[in-house]
Structure formats: C-alpha cells, structure tokens
Structure 1
C-alpha cells in the first residue's frame, strides 16, 4: 500500500529503518525474472533501479513523513547512474542508503522532499540517484487538475501501433512505449492503460515510469544500439502527460560523455508544451567493463539505527 502498487508481486521493497532524523536504509529484492523489466541473460534491467527508487518516495512519505494516504506525489526531477556490473543476477539484495534534504512541511506532514540515494549490493556501491518531489492534498490536487481529477470520466486516445520491438530493445509488441512517425527521431508516446505493470492502478495521467521507459526506448532507437544498456538519466518533469492528447517524443544524439558513453537528449511535448526532458547515457554493449572501482558503502552503526516498518 505504501508503494502505491496494487499488485503485491510488483513491490520490490522489503524492509526499511530510520538511521538518522532524515536518513534511512531500505532493502529491496530484484526478482530473477520480471514480466516487464526484462534484462539480458544473467543481468537485471537497469530500470529496476528507477522503479526501486520510485517506490521509496511513497514509502518514506507515508511511513516517515506523515503524509496521509490519498495525497498526491508530484515527481519534479530524477537523476540516476549505475555501474553495469551491479546488474548481474546473483541473488543478492539491494540496499538503498537514503538521505532526505530540503524537507518542507505543512503542519505535521512533509510538503516537499529532496532525496540522495546510494544503491549497494554486498556492501559495494553500484548506483546513485538524486530526486525531488512535492506533495499535494487531495482537495488542492482536484482543484488544480479540474476535470482530469475524475479518473472515471477521462477520455483516453486510441492505442497507437508500436514501432518494431527490436528497434527499441524489446521482444514484445505489448511492451513498446513508442509509435512511429514520418520524422526521424520523432515518435508518439504509446499509452496502453491496460498494461499490467505501467498502469498497475488507475491514474489520471501517463506515469513517470512510462516516460522513462519511452526515453530509454527512444535513445536505443536513434543510436541503433539494441545491444546497448541504458546506465543513466538526468530527467526533469515539467508537467503531466495527459491521456486525452498525443504526446510527442523526440530524441537527438549528443556528443559522447567523458566516460565514452553515448548520450541522447529525449524530450516529451504535448499540445505545444514541454512535458519532460532527459539526457540518457547508453553503455555500448552487454558485458561492458565496470566503471572504475567503487568504494564500499560504510556500514551504519547499530547505535544510530532506529526501527522502521
């Protein structure tokens, strides 16, 4: 319930505890096989890291910062990077070391939070993330969203045809998030509200994880690196992607980063306004060497740890 997932099998988080006033440790388990986040043989899908971090936003909001259930979380930005070596399927759990900053409150509850995350496996740092979000109570949310807040009455545009799955690193047409257009590097966001993972529960807009998946697929399409692995994104969410109008995804290749990885700028635009923008980093191929050695994550002393949920 705290992770905003109806399907209990989709909940990746296992345990959490408070380690300081605004710091926490959260443990997560990545399944060996997943219906949607499908990795390469012996490797997990990197977007499992994104979904794991995303689930901590409602978990800590409700569990640690007194945000009532029913309040809305608005994702503002999300920057993540990982070492491909951390994607190996070895059965070990993921440990997230989270520090919350810029915590603003309205009465007793949090109204805005920024988070820094270190992700470790067996004590070795494999990824980092930074994100921020705001919180709105249901009354304010309904006033701002107006007719869109009525999920039962929403109109959804017809499902558009997918691009060939192999062009975007997918094996199934059902999991393609893009539809083709006549322009190179330009796609229409494909919104399948019956998708069991991306639309696990009714929502009044395209979920952030759908936008990140669309960005991943667009980056692979324009770089023509189906064998590539997306290992980072630097994303800003500007406004909601509505379900009743086309959302256009554009991807353009940037100069390679200093680490030699390919970089692609991906943007979403709807009715003339920007929805989100991100810079996607793509490692060339499976089995890419690990990024330089990374330090072990320091252990949290027993004296500083407090019980959680």
Structure 2
C-alpha cells in the first residue's frame, strides 16, 4: 500500500520591515537611520520609504508637529542611499551639497503627530547627472513627499560625489578626518536655549555676539546627532539648524512659528579652525502672518552659506 505524506501548509509569514543599512545613509547610529526601503519605478525615478518617530532626541516634536528639519535629514539620507544602490557610486566617495530647498505643503497637515510613527514616501526624480569615467559625480534630485497619500512637502537638491583622490585634492590638506576632527576647538558659549527655540544647551548652535543679528556658529563635535561620526568639516545639517535658530532668535518670544520653507546655497566648506559668523539680513512678511529672513554664514571674510527661510505660525 502506497502511503502519501502530506505536509501541513505553513501559515503565511508577515512582511517584515527594518531600516536600510546605516552605511547606505552615512550614519553610525542605527537609531538615526530614518529610511526603511526603496525601489526603482522607472528610468531615474524612485520611491523611498521612511519612518519618523513620534519623539526624537534632537528633531523635536513641538506643538503637535514633526520637526521640518527631520524632513531635511530624511532627504539627506536619500542621496547616498540612491547613489550607492542605484548608480554604483562606491563607498568612500564624499558627497557635498551645493543647493538644497524644501517647502512644506500648505497647511502642513501631514506634519501632525498622531498616535503612531509617521510613514513617509519620497517620490524621487534624478536628473542632470554628470559622469566621470562612467561614475556619476553630480546629481540633481527632486522630491515629492507624501504621508498616507497626503502631500507633505516638495524639495530639490544639487550635490556632488567626489572620489577619494579628487576629494584630497579639493580639500587641499584638510581631508584627514581624524586629524581635523580631533583638532576642532572646544565649543563656544551657547546662546540661551529658549532664545533660539531650544530646550537644552547641548542643542544650541549659536553663540551671542555684541552685534545685533550676528552670532558665532557654535560647533560641538561631541553632539551625538549633528556629529554622528567624525568628519573633516562642519556638516550641512549644522548650517541648516543654525539658519533655523537665527531666525527664531529674531523674535524669541514668538510661539508656534515653524520654518515652512528654506532655500539654501552651500558656497564653501565650513572649517573647524576659524570662527564662522551667522548673520540675518533683510526680512519681509510671509503669507499667513509669517516672515522671510535671509541668513548668511561668513568665514575668513568669505560667504560660505546662504539661506532664505520662511516661517509661518501654526494653524
């Protein structure tokens, strides 16, 4: 008699979710990786997924909203992810911003904190890609950011990718990460946290001066988020945070104004070994009772960074 053994059907396993490898987004701490996946949707088009926690140690969740600079960091992480995974840029290449902008969707309803982490989709289009010896060296990327199908923001960036030998040449003796990072001076005295919209001294990136509308950039290389790993210059995210804090300091008593848009140009690397001065200049009204402020950064009497920041009060 022939017996047939029938194996029981195993129950379907649920789809499992994790973050992308930290190496893809140039972060050292697993906890600072916001991206959870990506897929190609066509020639130079992609969907990248991310998750925002309801609370973060640095990107503060205030007034029921996620921090717009968490959006900036999420987009920043997308750049190395896609260049490594989809364009074959090797690890060890250094990336640098030349332009970055974002604008929250009107009303910013998708920025609201709910009783669950925020699931984010970034619809990315890459264009104007320059190559050197078949390896991409410069990109433009445009973003449509949605949450649960609701528009959250748009963003655009232009950035370069430098091979180690070219980066050494570009940095003219400053590319030794260990030496430059170890030689960074102690952080200068912080502004009062509430003046710049912060709760803790460690998160303050501005030092007061005796000149109105002018601060010294405060660089604390021990900060666990802004300096997640050793670098040879001040990261671009520190400059975006400095712009946000400088605008807040113009009206420190104002509650509930958020940076709804920022348009930034990165002209030069900001070095550790000389002071960098953050200045606010012309301001103008912005729709809905907000304002637009120009923020510049100067080092060794050269313009190194510019940002136009628009704020709006909470609806």
Alignment match of 1:277 (pick from 306, 309, 315) = 306
Shift of 1:258: 4.7
CA contact (8 A) 1:168 1:226 kept: no
Alignment match of 1:151 (pick from 177, 180, 205) = 177
Are 1:139 and 2:165 an aligned pair?
yes
Q: Distance in 1 between matches of 2:184 and 2:232?
A: 10
1:13-67 Cα deviation digits (max 9, x unpaired): 0010000110000000001110100121432111111000000010011011110
1:214 paired residue number: 242
CA contact (8 A) 2:288 2:312 kept: no
CA contact (8 A) 1:157 1:246 kept: no
CA contact (8 A) 1:79 1:131 kept: yes
1:296 paired residue number: none
Q: Which moved more, 1:145-154 or 1:3-12?
A: 145-154
Within 5 Å, which residues of 2 pair with 1:72-111?
72-83=94-105, 84-90=108-114, 91=116, 92-111=118-137
CA contact (8 A) 1:66 1:108 kept: no
Q: Distance in 1 between matches of 2:82 and 2:276?
A: 31
Q: Distance in 2 between matches of 1:253 and 1:39?
A: 29
1:299 paired residue number: none
Q: Which runs of 5+ in 2 are unaligned?
A: 1-22
> What is the total number of aligned residue pairs between the two structures?
286
Are 1:251 and 2:280 an aligned pair?
yes
Shift of 1:194: 0.5
CA contact (8 A) 1:235 1:276 kept: yes
Q: Distance in 1 between matches of 2:123 and 2:178?
A: 38
Provide runs of 4+ in structure 1 moved above 6 Å: none
TM-score by length of 2: 0.88
1:238 paired residue number: 267
Shift of 1:157: 2.5
RMSD between superposed Cα atoms in Å: 1.2
Structure 1 or 2, whichever has the larger Rg, is: 2
Q: Which moved more, 1:210-219 or 1:254-263?
A: 254-263
CA contact (8 A) 2:257 2:290 kept: no
